[in-house]
Chain A
Amino acid sequence: MLNKVLDSFDAAVADIPNGAVVMIGNFAGPGGTPYYLIHALARQGARDLTIVANTAGGVGLTLDYDDHRLLFQNRQVRKVIASFPFSTSASRPSIAEKQILANEVELEIVPQGTLSERIRAGGAGIAAFYTPTGAGTVIESGKERRVFDGRPHLLELALKADFALIRAYKADTFGNLVYRGTARQFNPVMAAAAAVTIAEVDHIVDPGELDPDAVVTPGIFVKRIVQVKEDPGFPRHPERTFQVRGQHQGKEA
């Protein structure tokens, strides 16, 4: 019987080899970041990794916490492909920032929409696509330019990965996933773009327990599922829905 559930985060990342390309679901804070999978990969110690993520870790816009900055701290990263690689604070540069400026880690900086579309293309069998974003800027360097409807576009190549570490809210044992709020971000596109996608989730249920209409990530994209068993202590109310009705406008700041 098809069952993708593993007991431990360490077991889930055990076979990630040196030199692997690893996508990590991530935006500005811990929401939607696979916290325990990242920690397991840091313990596992694979080196020369290429990390594909929105940030290079340690940006701390929402709060300061140990995300994939651990992988930079352990010197496990050779290259990072990101849209928001640097700390917003000059006085608190991230670990990745120091390594990038010292030429110890290679950086490929990509506009966020191009990054997410390159990943989507990778999962969808599109080899490359033209986008207007970046034409006439430093992003154009080395890329094919072509004019459509009178507007210059750049050819951007798809991104694929050996592994994707993603975070979802609920999985069934087939790997079908639903997400919670803005924790969705890059996770569904990364799930499709990696050879092996590993999902860290709050709840695992039997097939049939998820409303098929509510499933965001089809289970065929997910190879391994691990349930979170402890609370990392972030501000979060996972028992609550974000659905609100009526004239509720929220409390003004």
Chain B
Amino acid sequence: MKERLSREAIAMRIARELFDGAVVNLGIGIPTLVSSFVPEGMTVIYHSENGMLGFGPVVPAEDMKELADIDLVNASGQYVQPKPGMCFFHHADSFGIIRGGHVDISVLGVIEVTDHGDLANWMFPGRGVGNIGGGMDLAFNAKKVIGATEHTTKDGKPKIVKQCCVPLTSPGCVDLIVTDISVIEVTPYGLLLKEYAPGWSVEDIQALTEPELAVAKDLKEIELV
């Protein structure tokens, strides 16, 4: 039976891309969930645009009164907890870290992504407005950019397309696309299907993907842990 992965499962798969000591920036939405699935014993150093490295988990709802502090929030505006080894710096230094190529992995949401790795994710669909925020600097400058997304829109249209219809965040920036039915690498020769969700065939995935997919020699079912 064909199943689509939950948002949490997409995040679990992305967490497998992390490595010990990695400097990681997580965008709003599915990307934020990745931090819940870091393997035990691995140290991941999270970067937040508002000037923070190495912070701890989000404050749980039941501890808000005790722990929430407006002076300790992540880039999504969520209250987080302090952690040994964390540090603070100002905004220009924070983006010096990004622009200088010191962020190993940036996980970003996707509105559209192409076979060239062009990413569009800042203009709200249907609203004609959007927030560029820090996403553009991350997309242009992180060492590795992972797009985290449902494979299709709510109306079932492909989000992996030949050309973006909405304004770009960055041309040619995405390295890996993790969706609810597939894991696809963006290569200089186009898209390479590497993993599929349980029950999905190459044809099923191709039917929901605009550009042509090459199939990896070692194509396999998505492993979450």
Please report A residues at the B interface, Cβ cutoff 8 Å.
27-32, 61-63, 83-86, 88, 90, 97, 100-101, 109-114, 116-117, 119-120, 131-139, 179-189, 216, 234-238, 240, 242-253
Contacts and interface: CB of A to CB of B under 8 A. Distances in A.
Give chain B's interface residue range (CB within 8 Å of chain A): 35 or more
A61 B76 contact: yes
Given A27-B50, A251-B60, 11 more contacts: A30-B70, A32-B50, A112-B133, A133-B137, A135-B140, A137-B170, A139-B136, A185-B51, A185-B91, A242-B71, A253-B59
A113 B98 contact: yes
A241 B89 CA distance: 16
Nearest to A107: B129
Contact of A240 (B69, B88, B132): B69
Contact of B56 (A113, A183, A250): A250
Contacts, number: 194
Interface in B46-77: 48-52, 56-61, 63-65, 67-73, 75-77
Nearest to B89: A184
A242 B61 CA distance: 20
Contacts of A61: 76-77
Interface in B28-59: 28, 36, 48-52, 56-59
Contacts of B127: 86, 90
A188 B170 CA distance: 29
B141 A88 contact: no
The 3 closest A-B pairs by CB, nearest first: A61-B77, A113-B95, A250-B56
A182 B52 contact: yes
Given A111-B134, A134-B136, A236 B69 contact: yes
A135 B171 CA distance: 8
A176 B130 CA distance: 37
Contacts of B131: 83-86, 88
A116 B94 CA distance: 9
Interface of B: 28, 36, 48-52, 56-61, 63-65, 67-73, 75-84, 86, 88-92, 94-96, 98-99, 124, 126-134, 136-137, 140-141, 167-171
A87 to B, nearest CB: 9
Contacts of B50: 27-28, 32, 182, 185
Nearest to B138: A113
A86 B124 CA distance: 10
B70 A62 contact: yes
Chain A interface, >50% SS class: loop
A183 B70 CA distance: 8
Given A113-B99, A180-B71, A247-B84, A133 B76 contact: no
B71 A133 contact: no
Contacts of A100: 129
B40 to A, nearest CB: 11
Contacts of B82: 242-244, 250
Given A86-B130, A242-B86, A252 B57 contact: yes
B56 to A, nearest CB: 3
Given A133-B140, A137-B171, A253-B59, A101 B129 contact: yes
B36 to A, nearest CB: 7
